[in-house]
């Protein structure tokens, strides 16, 4: 009897084991099927911070590396069927940036191309270069010589900043205006003979107001006379390899008939030379952006005997083109010129438009206002195209701050 009880116990245990095994096998196969069929969302499939966070904490994706195959991040709207989303194989490569600067940040919105200059706009020459390498990104008649007007002042500020760097003068050094400075025509800050301003204040006047009297005062302070300063300008031009450049003034005003009769020629340069001059200026004196990027400044702000003069930067692209932070405009009867620069993702371009004109209503005349406006449009075109070629439009602007 005892033997039969034991036999039943063994059989019961064996039966229970079989049932348990069958149930486990059934549930396991079902779970495996669910796992294989489940489609992971991008949030589940991609580890957090794979792409890095922007300043607001959101995930940033380069347009060409959108999670949706064949669709940019801007096109992937919330209505997109996310069951069809695929997972990128690798983390996108973002340039690490340059020393002293943060890594590039991907653009938060697409960059709109600027309006092209009107068909009746023409210029003596134009060029756009990579500011880092000097590589020409686009150009036309870039070596044609033409008067640069007030863009000449880029060489003037170059020599003044050279003198500051060499310790010959300081930005706080007082500069006493001469009678020659007072007598200057054209755009000015109306210096009076004997009036004293700092080098720093006069550099703002030079770059924002495009003040010709400030150019003369600075030239005399650095070299003792305008003539010696002009000699130094041309020495610098040769050092930089500007073979199509010859300066006659520190300000860029046209020479008078009397001066022409005595053999004096107007300032002459080319778009290519101006681009190289600007590239050297930026590399040697990055502090130039303190002046070229400033939109407004008060001259004689602390003066007790002269009325303060508000100055506004003539370079409208500082406001109109994201990332633009310089450099200099110019206008005379020889046309509208500009050297402008902008950066995105720590990639910088320099664009030059030399001697731009739009014909006026009367035969042989020039429409000054329209010429300057369309000059700006052409420069914006050149910068946009240059940044596009450098694959920099996908990044946020990275201008230098004054």
pLDDT, block means (10 residues), the chain with 402 residues: 53 61 48 38 33 30 30 30 32 44 84 93 98 97 98 98 98 98 95 97 98 98 98 98 98 91 93 98 97 96 87 97 96 95 96 96 90 97 97 92 72
Concerning whether 150 is annotated as a catalytic residue, the answer is yes
Give me the catalytic one of 153, 236, 297, 316.
153
Specify the pLDDT at position 62: 34
pLDDT of res. 7: 60
For tokens 């924002």, the residue is 208
Q: Which of 66, 150, 248, 270 is catalytic?
A: 150
Nearest to 251 by CA among 227, 225, 221, 216: 216
Q: Is the peptide bond before 327 cis (omega within 30 degrees of 0)?
A: yes
Report pLDDT for 371: 96
Residues 277-286 as b/e (b if ≥16 CB within 10 A, e otherwise) read: bbbbbbeebe
Nearest to 305 by CA among 197, 214, 162, 231: 197
Predicted local distance difference test score (pLDDT) of residue 4: 57
Question: Please, are residues 182 and 188 in contact by the beta-carbon 8 Å criterion?
Answer: no
Confirm if 169 and 218 have CB atoms less than 8 A apart. no
CB 41 within 8 Å of CB 66: no
- Candidates 66, 178, 210, 248; catalytic one: 210
Q: Check if 210 is active-site.
A: yes
> Does the active-site annotation cover 86?
no
Q: What is the pTM of this model?
A: 0.75
Note the Cα 361 to chain centre separation in Å: 35
CB 139: neighbour CB atoms within 10 A?
18
Residue 218 has a pLDDT of: 98
Domains along the chain with CATH numbers: 50-93 (no CATH), 125-389 (3.40.710.10)
Distance CA 375, CA 379 (A): 6
Could you tell me how many helices (H) and strands (E) the chain has, helices first? 12, 9
Interatomic CA distance for residues 63 and 340, integer angstroms: 28
Sequence-distant (≥ 6) Cβ neighbours of residue 396 within 8 angstroms: 104, 105, 106, 107, 108, 344, 345
């Amino acid at each position: 009897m005892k033997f039969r009880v034991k036999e039943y116990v063994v059989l019961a245990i064996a039966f229970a084991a079989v049932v348990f095994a069958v149930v486990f096998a059934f549930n396991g196969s079902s779970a495996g099927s669910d796992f294989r069929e489940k489609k992971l969302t991008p949030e589940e499939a991609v580890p957090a911070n794979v792409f890095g966070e922007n300043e607001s904490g959101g995930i940033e994706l380069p347009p060409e590396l959108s999670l949706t195959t064949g669709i940019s991040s801007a096109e992937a709207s919330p209505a997109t069927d996310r069951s069809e989303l695929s997972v990128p194989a690798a983390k996108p490569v973002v340039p690490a940036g340059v020393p002293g600067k943060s890594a590039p940040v991907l653009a938060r919105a697409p960059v709109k191309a600027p309006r092209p200059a009107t068909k009746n706009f023409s210029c003596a020459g134009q060029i756009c270069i990579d500011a880092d390498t000097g590589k020409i990104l686009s150009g036309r008649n870039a070596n044609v010589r033409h008067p640069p007007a007030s863009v000449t002042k880029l060489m003037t500020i170059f020599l003044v900043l050279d003198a500051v760097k060499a310790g010959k003068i300081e930005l706080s050094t007082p500069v006493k205006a001469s009678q020659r400075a007072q007598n200057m025509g054209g755009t000015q800050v109306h210096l009076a003979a004997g009036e004293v301003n700092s080098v720093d204040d006069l550099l703002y006047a030079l770059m924002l107001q495009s003040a010709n009297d400030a150019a003369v005062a600075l030239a005399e302070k650095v070299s003792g006379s305008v003539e010696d300063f002009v000699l130094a300008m041309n020495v610098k031009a040769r050092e930089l390899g500007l073979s199509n450049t010859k300066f006659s003034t520190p300000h860029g005003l046209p020479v008078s008939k009397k001066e022409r009769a005595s053999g004096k020629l107007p300032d002459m340069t080319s778009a290519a030379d101006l681009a190289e001059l600007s590239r050297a200026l930026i590399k040697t004196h990055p502090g130039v952006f303190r002046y070229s990027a400033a939109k407004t400044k008060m001259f004689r702000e602390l003066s007790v005997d002269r009325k303060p003069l508000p100055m506004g930067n003539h370079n409208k692209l500082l406001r109109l083109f994201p990332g633009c932070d310089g450099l200099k405009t110019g206008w005379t009867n020889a046309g509208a010129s500009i050297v402008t620069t902008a950066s995105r993702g720590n990639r910088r371009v320099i664009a030059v438009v030399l001697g731009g004109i739009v014909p006026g209503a009367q035969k042989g005349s020039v429409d000054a206002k329209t010429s300057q406006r369309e000059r700006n449009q052409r420069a914006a075109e050149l910068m946009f195209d240059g940044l596009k070629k450098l694959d920099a439009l996908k990044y946020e602007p990275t201008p230098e701050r004054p």
